[in-house]
Structure 1
Amino acid sequence: MRELNQKELEVYTSKARADKAINSLKGILLGINLDNQVNKKEIDELKKWAKSHRSLINQNPFKEFMTIINETVSNNIPATETIEDLFWLCQKYENHNYYYNTVSADLQTLQGICHGILADGIINEKEVWDLEEWLEQNLHLNTYYPYDEIRSLMLSIVSDGIIEEEEILILKAYLNQFVNIENNEIAQQIENETADINISGHCTSEPNIDFNGKTFCVTGVLKSGNRTELEHLIYNLGGIPIKSVTKKTDYLIVGDNGNAAWAFACYGRKVEKALEMRKEGHKICLVHEFDFMDAIEDLK
């Protein structure tokens, strides 16, 4: 079978690209409007996003999106009204969106929310709490990347009820991993502000663990026992213990390192490999040792 040329490939994939863009746009709009304020920088980011997706102009409802965005600038239409109109269009289009399943669509929306929050380069407390609320309302995404990592970080930030500046910087650096800010000035500002922030992975919060025929790998120093005992326990529960992370690995159990936020930058190659594989689309669930033991207790 002959290979498709670039033009044929764009036609063939246009439905998928349009649906993904709509899901992302919906999230961007939600993120921009989390604090109930829409500023010029956020509208500018929206315009640049639309421009970068101009190849989809002939795909409904992109013509309507472009028209609304352009009219906002030329006719001084209130920015909040623009956001509401665009979001209404996204919801209208959702009824005809069938390319992606619910999980994929919601993960694309989450990526858009991260984009919308960072659109003006500022994260305020209301945006933090509203993001936490959205994550709590979408627990069906638990164990999926990057939802579980973002939620784990958010839980560590809001656990004491106080949002500190350092925590906002960490969140800004973390969300920036999943976002391509179109405004170069804002993008550079975020890079400069977060240059000294060390970003590492986070384990899944409240994981749903299925042992039957699933593969488990262990890394780090365990506080609940030794590795051999844990591997025997996994085997007795119907799981398959393995020594290294592969594409067939279902769970990576991370030994406790005393960090309440469950960051594990120090654990080396197994965690790093698992994180890279997750970014490539492989569904590997990273589970903190104590959460894993809690899951076993629940089975008993």
Structure 2
Amino acid sequence: MDLHQEFEKSRFFNSARMDRRAADALSGLAAGIVSDGVVTLDEAKFLQSWLDANLVHLDDPVINLLYQRLGLMLQDGALDDDEAADLLSILRKFGGLELAKANAKPTFAASNDLPLCSPAPALEWSGRVFVFTGTMAFGPRKECQKLVEERGGLIGGGVNKKTHYLVIGSVGNEQWRHSSYGLKIMRAVELREAGVPIAIVSEGSWQQAMFGL
């Protein structure tokens, strides 16, 4: 699932095709939720209900993606730390939109200066420890972790000397060093420079290894 292309094609960014008030309301709502740097379970439930009542009828790919992600995150009635971090990253993008500018273009590009291993290594699964950071365009982080575990891989809670792969979600921020997931990346770089055989890979490389795309 390519979130970047979905944003570009979305009616959400075309003021001539949609209710500007609804778009402004969502941007304002998102900005309010992320203003304190955290997303709570009650806020996620409220957002889900608000989308259901106000925007889900638009049949818009971006709105649908956000709505579907919320549904998956909340299906167990809880919002864990990873899900909250993913939702925070997504909502920050909505909250940062400049919809009042007719020619404004969304700036949802994957980081172009990430310290990825080059060339990208061949990924192995059995007994290898994977850590995910950032927002995965493929889907919720739990689903990505489940796919790794089904292939014999292990999921690490943080970056350390036992980590084999740090996978960076493709829905990134060009200023990754100041983002909520920059600390994991910097820790991985420190370990790699100290001689620890940890590989920093993009979501694209992970998907290619996973699905042969």
Q: TM-score, normalised by structure 1?
A: 0.31
- Ranked by relative contact order (alpha carbons within 8 Å, sequence separation 6 or more), the top structure is 2
Which of the two has higher C-alpha Rg?
1
